[in-house]
Each structure stands twice: as C-alpha cells, then as structure tokens.
Chains A and B, each alone.
Chain A
Amino acid sequence: MESGFSEEELNEFKIEALELLDLGEQGLLALDNQGSYRENFDAIFRAFHSIKGAAGMMELLDLQAHMHQLESILIRVKDAPTLPRHLADLFLRGIDGARLILEGQKIQFDFNTDPGHVAPMQTAPIADQAPVAASPVAAIVAEVAVAPTPETVAQANAKNEETMQDLRESSAVEFFAECDEINTRLAADFEILIKSGSSPEIIASIYRDIHSLKGGAFLMGFGDIGDFAHNLETCLDYLRETNVTPSGPLIDVLFKSNDLIERMLKAVQNQTHEDFKKEVHALVPLLSSLLIETPILSKITQGEPMSTSPADTEISDAPQQPVATNAAPPAAPAADVHSDGDKADAGNSTIRVPVGLLDKLMTLVGEMVLVRNQVIQYSNQSDDLDFLNLSQRLNVVTGEIQGEMMKTRMQPIGNILGKFQRVVRDLSRELKKKIDLQIEGSETELDKTLLEAVKDPLTHIIRNSCDHGVETPEVRRAAGKPEGGTIRVRAFHEGGQVIVEIADDGKGLHRDKLVAKALERNLISKEKAASMSDRDAMNLIFAAGFSTAAQITNVSGRGVGMDVVRSNIDRIGGTVELDSVQGKGTTIRLKIPLTLAIVPAMIIRSGEDRYAIPQIKLAELVRVEKGATDGQIEYLQGQPVFRLRGNLLPLLDLKKVLQFKDHDTKKFVENADAVNIIVLYSERQSFGLIVDEIQDTADIVVKPLTRFLKSLAVYSGATVLGDGSVALILDIAGIAAQNLSTSQSEDAAANHSARSNDGASAMEESQEFLLFRLNSPTKHAVFLGYVHRLEEFKRSAIEVSGAQRVVRYRDAILPIYSLNDVLKYESDSKNLNDIVPVIVTQKGSQYFGIEVNEILDVFETSADIDASISDREGLIGNIVSDNEVVVVVDPHHCVPQKRNVSVVPAVRQFEASAMGAPVAMHAQAQHQQAPQEGYGFSHSKRLLFAEDTAFFRKHVSGVLSRSGYEVTLARNGEEALAILENRGGNYFEAVLSDIEMPKMNGYELAASIRKDARFKHMKVIALTTKASPKDREKGLESGFSAYLEKLNAEELLNTLEALTPTSNKSAAIAEKAAV
C-alpha cells in the first residue's frame, strides 16, 4: 500500500518541519546568549512538539519518535533555572539529527543525557535511494532508545496542556486560513463530482484535502474533527484505490460530511462549543455502510482505530493517538520524499510570505521603475556607450522584475467563484428552486487584495439572484420558461479591468414595484418618482435601506445588500452596472480595476503642466497640420470637430476641460502650426482631446490622489515622471462624463455606475437620436442612424434649381429641404441665421439635406417611441426624455413623394445591386418615390425580421406590415434561428436580417440557414448599413440572397416583391409605402 500522501504534502510538511527546527535552534542559541529561559524554552518546546505531531500525522514514524525523545528530555528541565550545557548540545545535535531524518537518512541517535557523555550519531545514508520501506517501520522505532507508548505521550501531553494552548493560539489563525482554502477547493470538487460524475482525479483531490484537514485538526488538538475527517478519509481512500464510482446516496453523505466538518471547524473557531456528536454518529455508520453496500470491503472497520465507536471519538484531545496505532499499516512514509534525488530539493519550491512583505516589495518595485525611468532619460542625453548599454540592461531587468512581481499577487478568481456552486446549491434547495450556476473564466487573475474585496459583494449578488431573480419552477413554467433557472457568472479581462458579470434569467426588475417601494420607504420624492427614467428606477436597488423582496426571507431582503455591494465595489475603485429586462432577467456587471498596476501611459503637455493618459484608453494620435488639405478642425455650433476617415469626431480641448484662463480653442487652432489630437475611447463614444504636445510614452506607477481630491473627476491619480516631477493622470472616463454627456443630471454619478454600454441587452434597447430645434417650442430629433453628416452652409450658398433649393456639396448637388416647411411649422423670418445647419442624410444612393434651426445634441435613450400622437405627416412619434417630450421626425418624409414611378421590381436588377454594382433604380428613385399603388402583396406573406435596434425593428416592420406583410420579429440571430426552427421551413417566405447583432450576427444567421436543408428555399435578405462592396461580397458568401441598405424602403419592397413573387396583386396597399 502506498502512503497516502502526495509529494506536495510531504514537501509542505518538510518545509514546515525545517522552519520549526530552525526556530528550535534559534531558541537554543538564544539561551546560550542569556536569553529569557521561559520564553525560549517555550519556543523550543513548541517546535519539537509541533514536529512530533505533524510527523505522526504524516506517518513519518522515525521522525516522530526522535522528536518525542527530545521533547521528553526537554520537559524534564521545564522548571530549571537554566538549560544545562550538555543538554543544549544534545538538543542541537538532536535538531541536526532531525534534519538528517528529514533528508531521508537513517540515523542512530544517542539520547544519553549524562553530562560529559559525548554522543555519537551515526548516519546511515541510503546509498541507492531505495525506499526506506525495505526496512520495516517497527524496526526503526525499535532502534530508538525508548519507543513511545501512548501512556507516556498522554502524560507529556497533559503536563503541557498550557504549552499546547500557546501553540494552538499561535498557529490557529494559520490553520483556519488553510481550512478555508481547503473548504473552497472541496466545495468546487464536490460540485464537479455532482455535475460530471466521479473521476479518479476528483476523488484523489478530495481525499488529499480531507487528509490535510485531518492532519491539521489533530495537530491543533481538535480530535473530534480529526476523527471524523479520518472516517471520511478512509471512505475516500477506498474509492480512490478501487476506482469505484460513488453512488448517489454516497455522494450525498460525502457532501453532508464535508459540510459537517466545515461547521465543526466554524464552531471551534468561534468557540461556540456546539455538540456535533449526534451528527457525527449519524454520519459515520452511513459512510461505512454505503461503502460496503457499493460492493465489498470491511476494510473501514478493520484495524482502523478511529472508526465508528463512540468511545474513540470521545478521546478527542489526544492528538498523539496515531503513534500507537499507525504502526499497524505497513506504510513507508519517508520513501516518497526521497525516492528521487531531485525531490529532496523540491522541498524548497514554495515558501510562505506575509502579504505585507509583498506589498512593500511591490512599492519598492514601483520606486525602482521610477528610478529606471530617470536613468533611461539621463542615458538618452549621454554619449557614453557603456552607460547606454548598462541602462538598457537595467531597463530589461526592471521590466522583468516588475512583471514577475505582479504575478506574485495574482490569484485566479476561480478561488472565490468555486464557493458559489455550493451557495447556489444550498439556496436552491432552501428556496425550492432549480438553479444552475455556470461559471466562465474562473482562470481570470486578479490581485489578491481585490479578490478579497469582491468576495462579499459577489456572494451578495448571487444570493440575491437566487432569492429575488430566479423564480420558482411553477412560476417559470407559467411564464413559458424552462423550470430550471440559470445564473451565469462570467469573469474576463477587458480594457485593463476585470469584469465579472452575473446574469440570471429570472423575472428581472419591475420598475413600478421598485418605484413604489422607494416611495414607501421615503427614499425618493413623488415628483422624482414620476419623472424617473427606467435606468434611474433600476438604480434604486442600490439605495441604502432598499429591499425588493415582498417577504423578508432569511436569504436576503434585510434591506442591506445592494447598497453594500455598491459601496464595497466603489471602495476599490470599481463600478457596478445593472441591466434588467422585466421577465427576462437581470445582469449585473462589476468592473474591477487593476489599480495596483504599473501602467503604460502617454505623457502629454498642456500649458506648462504634463499629464499622463493610460494607453489603454488611447486609440490613435492625429496631427493636424496648418493648411493641410486632408482635413482641418471644423466647428459645429462652436464646438470643434474633426473628420476622422469620414466620421465626425467630437473634440475636447484639454485646456478648456482644465479651465485655463482666457483660452480660446479657435484662436489656438488658428495660431498653431499643428494641432495634436489624441483619439480616446470613452465609455460611450470616442472623442479627440486637443493637447499642446505629445511627449513620450512611459510606464507609470499609479499613485492615488488623497481622498478629498478624488472628487475631481478629471484625474484618476498621480505619478512621478522620469525627471522626478509629478504628473497627474487624466481620467478619460471622467472627462468624457463631465464634458460629453448631453444632459447632466445632478445624480450623474449614480447614473454613471449603472450605465451599461456594451452589455448585450443595452445594445438591443437603447438608441441614439440627434436633437435639433425647429420653429416649435418642442425639441425634435431624428434617429442618429439616419444622419450621414452634419454640415453648416452659408445662406447665400443655397441656390435654387427650379423650385428646389440646392447647395453645391462635394462636387454634387445637394437638395435642401426645410423641415419647418415640411412639417408646416410657421416660419419665423426674422430669425434667419446666416449659417444654415443641415443634416445630411441618405435615401437610396442620393444624399439630401434637411435644414433645421439649430442642432442641439446627441442623446441616447432606451425609452420607446410613443407613436399614438403624430398629428402630422412625417412625425414618427414622441419620446419622453429628461422630463421633456421630444418629437421624432422621419427625415425621409421630407423628400416629396411623387407618383410617376415606373415599377422596376426586376430580380436581375436586384442581383446587380447585390453584386455591388450601382443600381439603376436608385438613380431613378431619387425623386420617383415608391408609388402608393403598384405593388401588390398578398396578406399571407410572412417574413421574419432579425434586428437588434428597437428603432429599426419598429420602423421596418411598420413599413412591411403597412405593405401587407406579416412580420415576426427577432432581436438577434440566435432568436431568429430559434423562431425559424420552431415554425418550420415553409412558414416564412423570407428572412430579413441585420448584420451587426449580438449573440449571432447576420452572417452567422445566413450561414446557419443555408446549412439547414429544411430552409433550402428560404430567401435571406441582409438589411444593413454596412454596404461596402466587400461587405456585400461577404454577405453573399454567407448565403444572403440579397444585400440591401437599411434605410431604403422602396428598394426593400421591390426586392421582396421580386424575390417572393405573388400571382395576384392584392389590395393591401401601403398607406405610406415609401418612407
């Protein structure tokens, strides 16, 4: 039989034993130097005693015996005034001897305590590294002067109860910490066991942990825990050796046992003196009986001392018991450690280091990086080649040290996520729900301190999801969901942050309930409640003293919770975002920064100050030279913008942001030879930052600003630069939030943390609109997707062609329509500005301009468009945003609709368009809008339309249904495919799909449909804004039958007609067919 210890465990023991021996030695030497007798005696005694105990546990009997001898001699002089010289020598030799034993040597040690006796110590090195097992353990024990008996041990033990107490206290903390780790691992292992069945690795892993637990418990004198763990271990050992797959009931018992151990430990730790005997007695027989049931084996009850008899379990405070009994199994403990020459060294492969020391080291490395930076800067001015070489090497080495140093503190987040399997399992039982916890990315590493800090918030969120999120099976069934709920925890790195996402598919948050509850608890005023956006309402859950559970359960709902989560995450500089769709579930994202990090940054200058910008936020650098023809900074409503590859990039002037006195961006731009723009990513959009000079890149050590300066949102910290001066680090997100957002509400900060920008659900629901003013008190808006460009023309530049106002624009004629005229708002002739703001939009391939009074802003909303009031042609409906109503305009309605169109619904033509060739129809369609009559559609034509943007979903389906199609909507490819499979191959005539969608994009959808034989005849049409020839090609490759631009309604209708021909032209006619 092989010894039950892994190499790792033996190594760990060895390290610990060597440390203890060193301590003992130090104590002895201190005594020699007139150190305090009492103190040092205790230290030596503790060392000897601990080694003895641990050696017994590890079944290293010779070492145990050796240490026992030393201990017994030592105890005799406990009350002596000093340690006799000859005894000190003996102990020192004894320590050397113990070291030799640890190294796998067999020694003969003389314990003669007579003064003047010079003791020989013979070592018998094992020549061929053959396992010590060759010689029976009993023989080794016999070689030692007096073999210890249980009685002597017990006596010694009793005498030293006091000392034991000290020992316990000092190492208890460590022991419990280790138990925590073990329990975490165990929980994870058990979960795997339940989920994916037994495997030798899992059993072995559980076995190992239980074993170390047993050892620790005995060592600490927690005999009953040790005994019970031993029972469990025996059972596992059997499973491990026989490879028997444990039966369901057995797993359950294992689970319960593990749980019991955990509780026993807790009780000991908190000194609650609970009595677990009953439970122990209930479980122990179960453990063995189930095993026997499985098939055979009486092994557990045979010759195993600490099995089921109650008498045994009661001798709880006799940790040395194994001494008497462990002689029985013919184990060869030392063999494992020394069977291989290399392994002797492996004992030094890990050490325990206090976290404080690592912190200190980290700080020092930070300092070193700074010095390195200064040296490099200095060396750049030097011509001394040797110095350059040296500084180069310093650079490389420092970089490596920095990298390795960071690693010492990183731990996989799985260490805490693993625990949640257990939490969810227990909760789902308690709450009678079926909940499956899926964990992804448990290998994602995070700094240990941060890991500790997110543990509680995470637990809270998961408990909340179980309790409030996921519904009971009955409710779920009634709602048409699968009975079992899912909680998905996903951890990943993104943009220098670790993101932990907890998503449940439960009932989601109910806005009205939240608001009502908040009112009831006086958290908000009535006025506020009425005007609250959905997002603000969701945010109420983070308010202190808020609990949504209708009934207070003991799982959650005590009114502390989410506010604590938020403040905990805030404290480590992270953010919490919440997204919830009623009936669909809730997603909470924790963004946890890597604040300790040394980050690469760009150093820039503005005025006389230098600032650092984390490179992670940096997209590109743009230098706009004076007089360059390829692009200049332009002004839109006085705000600088830049056309970056055809897209408008809003610009911020850092000097304006930092409120430099008398700074005028326009003047500055005009006077500068070149303007440096740093293109940055912020949470919502990219923007450009105008700076005076771009200096350098450097690794900077982020140092936090003192607390009262943290309210300055534009800075995220400070750093020391290469020349020793201090630079502030710009907080890009903070700058964006302060300067970019449209409507800054008072609780912008609250909004900030609840925002979700890239969450899938947010993508589906929120839309951006361009806000502008007309001759009307109400603000108007168009969907931003319609806006191609924003331009300003001089009124004098507008010419007239026939009755049509036009302007020369990019070598072409741009027709201009005044939205005031179209919407029949009274014109206000005295207010005619010299500058005409124009929204350039595209219809088909034709651009046209819409004149408005003033362009205000872009805003984002998740609110639905209320289409019930649209008293004029061209209005789509209203949105309520920030306490005001915004009228949404259909820009394409501006273009006058004529009826003299010849219908050209030819497939051939369509194919031409699909191939990327210009389509004749477009040109014709310019002013020849789709006819009111002319297309006929049968009522029965069913379409499936996949589109993630709510606006387009509504809009396009409106167009289609008005034209007589029956449209089924899907929000992404995955959903579309599911619907398709549900309805079968012949239900829909065609599938329309957007390209960019979450979960499954258009290409994937088309490919999936094409793959399926059932949908062989299905027409799949891409409806997209991605309309480059390359995109088309890709689309056609993926299996799209056609590739259309999103905003071209008549082309869509033509194509549909062409692809799904009908024999009879029905009377179902579009009321506003052409949009």
Chain B
Amino acid sequence: MSSINSPTAKAESSKQYATFLIDDRLYGIDVMEVQEVTQALMPTTIRLAPDYVKGLINLRGQIVTAVGLRELFGLPKSVDAQSHASVVCRIDGNLFSLLVDRIGDVVEVSPRDFEATPSTIDNGLGKFMSGVYKTAGSILSVLNIASISTELNAK
C-alpha cells in the first residue's frame, strides 16, 4: 500500500485502484476512496435488516456497517467462498466495510485502457460499475462508491 502516497511521474494521468476478488473476478475501488483494508471481523448481526447488511463491526471505536458485496451484487452464494477481507470506505460520512473474498494489489491503470461497462453486464451489477480497465491478464471492474451509496439508500 505504500505506493499510494508515493507520487509517480504518471500520477497526473494514471489512476490507482485497490483491487479485490469476489468469485475470482477482479474489482477495484479508487484508492482515494478507501480508508483501509482489514480482515473481516465478526460483525454484530442486525436482525430485520436486508441480507446484504452483514452487521456492525467495531473498528477502533468507530461503528462500521458491514455490507456483503456478493449479496449486494446478487451473485450466487457459493459454499466454499467466504468473505475473508473487508475494504473500509467512507460514504457520505458513514463508514462501510465492504466484505469481499480476497484482497488484491493496488493496481495502477492508464486512461487509455478504460472502457465503459459492456452492455451485456447484468444491471444488478452494472449499476454499481463505472467502467472497466483492461489490464494485463485480466479486466478490472471499477466500482463506483457513490452509486453503492445511492443504491443502499434507495433500497
């Protein structure tokens, strides 16, 4: 993560994404929007809440709402895949812990590799994406924190 703060020559044009995996698919959130990455903590469940709300965790005295991205995206539940890691973001002044399978690297991408979300992507997921980056070896789906927030509040 040290690369976040070390400005590179390309900093002006390229962007950095904190990446993570759900079902071995690569997702990324702009590093500037990520507060930290932690192990998934045991949350306090909130009964009566929607299924994607996994509960509340105490992150050094701050109460963080844990949201299961798998459930939010409507991805099928898989038996072996467990949410092991959490990406903590601040959305609208509230802290959210987005639960994911695994944490990836911080990836630096150039705008040249950007493309809009292909229209074949199901809207259940597509509405959270702001586009994709073609990287070596895989394609990075960029998640839009603002639209996650909008969706959560709309539900």
Residue-wise interface mask of A (43-71) relative to B, using a CB-CB cutoff of 8 A (1 in contact, 0 not): 00000000000000000000000000000
Question: Which chain A residues border B47 with CB–CB below 8 Å?
Answer: 609, 658-660
B34 to chain A, nearest CB (A): 18
Interface status of B45 (Cβ within 8 A of chain A):
yes
Interface status of A34 (Cβ within 8 A of chain B):
no
Classify chain A's interface size. Answer: 20 to 34
What separation, in Å, do the CA atoms of A709 and B65 have in the docked complex? Answer: 9
What separation, in Å, do the CA atoms of A1034 and B96 have in the docked complex? Answer: 61
What separation, in Å, do the CA atoms of A714 and B49 have in the docked complex? Answer: 11
CB of B57 within 8 A of CB of A709, answer no
CB of A726 within 8 A of CB of B58, answer yes
Interface status of B136 (Cβ within 8 A of chain A):
no
Interface status of A725 (Cβ within 8 A of chain B):
yes
Given contacts A706-B94, A707-B94, A728-B56, contact A720 B65 (CB under 8 A): no
Question: Which chain A residues border B92 with CB–CB below 8 Å?
Answer: 707
Given contacts A714-B48, A725-B44, contact A708 B153 (CB under 8 A): yes
Chain A, residue nearest B65 (CB): A706
CB of A709 within 8 A of CB of B49, answer yes
Chain B, residue nearest A720 (CB): B58
CB of B46 within 8 A of CB of A728, answer yes
**Of A658, A703, A706, which one neighbours B96 at CB under 8 angstroms?**
A706
What separation, in Å, do the CA atoms of A725 and B64 have in the docked complex? Answer: 12
Interface status of B63 (Cβ within 8 A of chain A):
yes
Given contacts A367-B61, A726-B63, contact A708 B56 (CB under 8 A): no
CB of A726 within 8 A of CB of B48, answer no
Interface status of B75 (Cβ within 8 A of chain A):
no
User: Which of A610, A727, A728 has its CB near the most chain B CB atoms (within 10 A)?
Assistant: A728
What separation, in Å, do the CA atoms of A706 and B53 have in the docked complex? Answer: 11
Interface status of A965 (Cβ within 8 A of chain B):
no
Chain B, residue nearest A723 (CB): B58
Residue-wise interface mask of A (678-708) relative to B, using a CB-CB cutoff of 8 A (1 in contact, 0 not): 0000000000000000000000000101111
Question: Which chain B residues border A207 with CB–CB below 8 Å?
Answer: none
What separation, in Å, do the CA atoms of A609 and B55 have in the docked complex? Answer: 11
Residue-wise interface mask of B (133-155) relative to A, using a CB-CB cutoff of 8 A (1 in contact, 0 not): 00000000000000000001101
A714 to chain B, nearest CB (A): 6
Residue-wise interface mask of A (955-978) relative to B, using a CB-CB cutoff of 8 A (1 in contact, 0 not): 000000000000000000000000
CB of A708 within 8 A of CB of B152, answer yes
What separation, in Å, do the CA atoms of A1005 and B43 have in the docked complex? Answer: 60
Interface status of A718 (Cβ within 8 A of chain B):
yes
**Of A660, A714, A728, which one neighbours B44 at CB under 8 angstroms?**
A728
What separation, in Å, do the CA atoms of A907 and B94 have in the docked complex? Answer: 74
Chain B, residue nearest A709 (CB): B49
Question: Which chain A residues border B45 with CB–CB below 8 Å?
Answer: 609
Interface status of A786 (Cβ within 8 A of chain B):
no
Residue-wise interface mask of A (646-665) relative to B, using a CB-CB cutoff of 8 A (1 in contact, 0 not): 00000000000011100000
Chain A, residue nearest B43 (CB): A726
CB of B61 within 8 A of CB of A720, answer yes
CB of A726 within 8 A of CB of B49, answer no
What separation, in Å, do the CA atoms of A659 and B48 have in the docked complex? Answer: 7
CB of A715 within 8 A of CB of B46, answer yes
Chain B, residue nearest A710 (CB): B153
Question: Which chain B residues border A719 with CB–CB below 8 Å?
Answer: 63
CB of A720 within 8 A of CB of B63, answer yes
What separation, in Å, do the CA atoms of A367 and B62 have in the docked complex? Answer: 9
What separation, in Å, do the CA atoms of A724 and B59 have in the docked complex? Answer: 9
User: Which of B43, B47, B57, B152 has its CB near the most chain A CB atoms (within 10 A)?
Assistant: B47
CB of B61 within 8 A of CB of A370, answer yes
Q: Which of B67-111 contact A (CB under 8 A)?
A: 92, 94, 96
Interface status of A712 (Cβ within 8 A of chain B):
yes
Interface of A is mostly: mixed
CB of B56 within 8 A of CB of A726, answer yes
CB of B48 within 8 A of CB of A609, answer no
CB of B63 within 8 A of CB of A658, answer no
What separation, in Å, do the CA atoms of A609 and B45 have in the docked complex? Answer: 8
What separation, in Å, do the CA atoms of A726 and B53 have in the docked complex? Answer: 15
What separation, in Å, do the CA atoms of A105 and B58 have in the docked complex? Answer: 57
What separation, in Å, do the CA atoms of A370 and B47 have in the docked complex? Answer: 24
CB of A718 within 8 A of CB of B56, answer yes
User: Which of A658, A718, A727 has its CB near the most chain B CB atoms (within 10 A)?
Assistant: A718
Residue-wise interface mask of A (719-741) relative to B, using a CB-CB cutoff of 8 A (1 in contact, 0 not): 11000111110000000000000
What separation, in Å, do the CA atoms of A714 and B69 have in the docked complex? Answer: 25
Given contacts A367-B61, A720-B63, A724-B58, contact A708 B44 (CB under 8 A): no
Question: Which chain A residues border B61 with CB–CB below 8 Å?
Answer: 367, 370, 720
What separation, in Å, do the CA atoms of A370 and B60 have in the docked complex? Answer: 11
What separation, in Å, do the CA atoms of A726 and B44 have in the docked complex? Answer: 6
Question: Which chain A residues border B56 with CB–CB below 8 Å?
Answer: 718, 726, 728
A258 to chain B, nearest CB (A): 41
Question: Which chain B residues border A726 with CB–CB below 8 Å?
Answer: 43-44, 55-58, 63
Question: Which chain B residues border A708 with CB–CB below 8 Å?
Answer: 152-153, 155
Chain A, residue nearest B62 (CB): A703
Chain B, residue nearest A712 (CB): B48
CB of A725 within 8 A of CB of B58, answer yes
What separation, in Å, do the CA atoms of A703 and B95 have in the docked complex? Answer: 12
Chain A, residue nearest B45 (CB): A609
Question: Which chain B residues border A725 with CB–CB below 8 Å?
Answer: 44, 58
B95 to chain A, nearest CB (A): 8
What separation, in Å, do the CA atoms of A293 and B155 have in the docked complex? Answer: 72
Question: Which chain A residues border B49 with CB–CB below 8 Å?
Answer: 709, 712
What separation, in Å, do the CA atoms of A146 and B57 have in the docked complex? Answer: 70
A666 to chain B, nearest CB (A): 21
CB of A709 within 8 A of CB of B58, answer no
Question: Which chain B residues border A660 with CB–CB below 8 Å?
Answer: 47
Q: Which of A177-228 contact B (CB under 8 A)?
A: none
CB of A712 within 8 A of CB of B94, answer no
What separation, in Å, do the CA atoms of A971 and B48 have in the docked complex? Answer: 45
Question: Which chain A residues border B55 with CB–CB below 8 Å?
Answer: 726
What separation, in Å, do the CA atoms of A610 and B63 have in the docked complex? Answer: 15
Question: Which chain A residues border B57 with CB–CB below 8 Å?
Answer: 726
What separation, in Å, do the CA atoms of A659 and B44 have in the docked complex? Answer: 16
CB of A658 within 8 A of CB of B94, answer no
CB of B53 within 8 A of CB of A709, answer yes
A611 to chain B, nearest CB (A): 10
B102 to chain A, nearest CB (A): 25
Given contacts A706-B96, A707-B94, A709-B65, contact A658 B48 (CB under 8 A): yes
What separation, in Å, do the CA atoms of A708 and B48 have in the docked complex? Answer: 13
Chain A, residue nearest B152 (CB): A708
CB of B96 within 8 A of CB of A709, answer no
Question: Which chain B residues border A367 with CB–CB below 8 Å?
Answer: 61
Question: Which chain B residues border A707 with CB–CB below 8 Å?
Answer: 92, 94, 153
B42 to chain A, nearest CB (A): 8
Question: Which chain A residues border B44 with CB–CB below 8 Å?
Answer: 609-610, 718, 725-728
A261 to chain B, nearest CB (A): 40
What separation, in Å, do the CA atoms of A367 and B153 have in the docked complex? Answer: 28
CB of A709 within 8 A of CB of B153, answer no
Q: Which of B96-131 contact A (CB under 8 A)?
A: 96
B20 to chain A, nearest CB (A): 21
What separation, in Å, do the CA atoms of A464 and B31 have in the docked complex? Answer: 51
Question: Which chain B residues border A609 with CB–CB below 8 Å?
Answer: 44-45, 47
B90 to chain A, nearest CB (A): 11
Q: Which of B5-21 contact A (CB under 8 A)?
A: none
A695 to chain B, nearest CB (A): 15
B52 to chain A, nearest CB (A): 10
B71 to chain A, nearest CB (A): 14
**Beyond A706-B152, A708-B152, A709-B46, 5 extra complex contacts between A and B, CB < 8 Å:** A707-B153, A712-B46, A712-B49, A714-B48, A720-B61
List 12 A-B pairs, Cβ < 8 Å. A370-B61, A609-B47, A658-B47, A706-B152, A708-B153, A709-B46, A709-B53, A709-B65, A712-B48, A718-B56, A719-B63, A726-B56
Report the 7 A-B pairs with minimum CB-CB distance, sorted nearest first: A658-B47, A726-B44, A706-B94, A726-B56, A708-B152, A708-B153, A367-B61
Residues of A at under 8 Å CB distance from B?
Answer: 367, 370, 609-610, 658-660, 703, 705-709, 712, 714-715, 718-720, 724-728
